[in-house]
Amino acid sequence: MSRYFVALLAIVTMTLAAPSAAQETPESIFRDYDHMRSIMDDGMMNQKIVMVMRAFGASDEMTAEELQSLEARVKALFPKPLDSVEVMKSEKLGDHWTREMYVYYSGIDYIYAFVLFHTRPEALVAVNFKFNTDPIVLLKEF
């Protein structure tokens, strides 16, 4: 299976949906930067794509079947956990707005993630999240 086949299928954009009052832990809302990174890093490094996509707002963007299929494709490309992560690019956009791109890798296996987030006094809100096996696709966000 080609990485770029998955790249075409895996590019997923989530936009913050207004959380319902009944939701205990709204999607895309984190305590702070470290909390967001711990969820994203665990999900990306261990191919927990369903978990990370739900944490970043996919429950109203993709069906459960689509999420499972996406996770299966990623696990086929990366059967073992990735052991390293680096911030490839970070850009401050305003007083409380930042966009960052990360690379997760082991050996010569790479997967990339992008997030646009708003740091508020009470929480960090991930407004947009994408991942791909092609870094050029995500570098276009800058």
pLDDT-based confidence at 27, cuts 50/70/90? confident
Domains of the chain, residue spans: 3-14+28-139
Q: What is the pLDDT of residues 100-126, one digit of tens each?
A: 999 999 999 999 999 999 999 999 999
User: In the chain, what is the greatest distance between 2 CA atoms, to the nearest angstrom?
Assistant: 44
Q: Which helix (H) or strand (E) holds 124?
A: strand 124-132
Which of 45, 40, 41 has the alpha carbon at shortest distance from 56?
40
Full-model pTM: 0.79
Question: Domain 3-14+28-139 maps to which CATH number in 3.90.320, 1.10.1740, 1.10.10, 3.10.450?
Answer: 3.10.450
Which of 77, 1, 85 has the alpha carbon at shortest distance from 41?
85
Tokens coding 75: 């696990």
